Amino acid sequence: MPGSRKMEFKGNYWHETCFVCEHCRQPIGTKPLISKESGNYCVPCFEKEFAHYCSFCKKVITSGGITFHDQPWHKECFLCSGCRKELCEEEFMSRDDYPFCLDCYNHLYAKKCASCTKPITGLRGAKFICFQDRQWHSECFNCGKCSVSLVGEGFLTHNKEIFCRKCGSGVDTDI
C-alpha cells in the first residue's frame, strides 16, 4: 500500500496496519511485543492474557517467582507471616495456608517435647511419639529412671513420668 511502512519480524513481513496484536487487534508498530505460538501480543495484552500475578502485591511476575498453594509469588513477596522474613531460600512450615519461617512456627505452633521442651516439627522425616496429651522426640522417649529407650516398647506411666516395664513394676502406675 502506498505510504505504508513494511514491518518485518522473525523473517515475516506485514503492512504496518496488518502487524497487530493478536488480542486487541491494535497495530503493534515499533512498540515492544511478546511473541507466542498463537501470535504476537502487545505487552499489556500479553500480561492480561498470559502473565502470572503475585498473590501478595498483585503485580506481574516477569521472571522467576515461586508457587505456594498453587498461587504464584514474587520471591521478594514470599514472606513469613510472623516476622516478615523472606522465605524463598529458607525451609518453612505452613499453618492455615500461611507460610512461617521455622523460628516463628516453632514459637507459635509447634508442640513441645515433654522431655526436652524443644519444638517437635517432624522435619526431614523426624520421628516423634504421641501419648495422651504429650509428645516426645523419638530420642527423648526414655524411661524416667534408667533412661532406656521406650520407642516400640511397652511402658508404664506414673503422674507425668514414663517408665520401662522393669522400672515401673515397683511404682504405683496410672495404667
- Do 121 and 165 fall within a single domain? yes
Beta bridge partners of 36: 39
Would 31 be classed as within a structural domain? yes
Would 84 be classed as within a structural domain? yes
Would 70 be classed as within a structural domain? yes
- Do 116 and 165 fall within a single domain? yes
- Do 116 and 163 fall within a single domain? yes
Query: Which residues, at least 6 apart from 122, have a Cβ–Cβ distance to it below 8 Å?
Result: 128
User: 0.85 cut: is pTM over it?
Assistant: no
- Report the chain's mean pLDDT, rounded to a whole number: 85
**Does residue 38 contact residue 50 with C-beta atoms inside 8 Å?**
no
CATH number at residue 102: 2.10.110.10
Torsion angle, alpha carbons of 143, 127, 121, 79, to 10: 160
- Do 97 and 126 fall within a single domain? no
- Do 29 and 45 fall within a single domain? yes
- Do 165 and 115 fall within a single domain? yes
- Do 71 and 34 fall within a single domain? no
**Does residue 98 contact residue 92 with C-beta atoms inside 8 Å?**
no
**Does residue 18 contact residue 12 with C-beta atoms inside 8 Å?**
no
158 confidence band (pLDDT: 50, 70, 90): confident
- Do 17 and 39 fall within a single domain? yes
Q: In whole angstroms, give the CA distance from residue 98 to residue 35.
A: 36
For the chain, what is the domain count? Answer: 3
In tens, the pLDDT along 52-102 reads 899 999 998 877 889 999 999 999 999 999 999 999 888 898 899 899 999
What's the pLDDT at 20? Answer: 86
- Do 70 and 22 fall within a single domain? no
Nearest alpha-carbon partner for 77 in 64, 91, 96: 64
Would 126 be classed as within a structural domain? yes
In tens, the pLDDT along 14-36 reads 777 788 888 898 888 778 888 88
- Do 139 and 104 fall within a single domain? no
The boundaries of the domain holding residue 154 are: 111-169
Would 174 be classed as within a structural domain? no
Would 11 be classed as within a structural domain? yes
Q: In whole angstroms, give the CA distance from residue 20 to residue 18.
A: 6
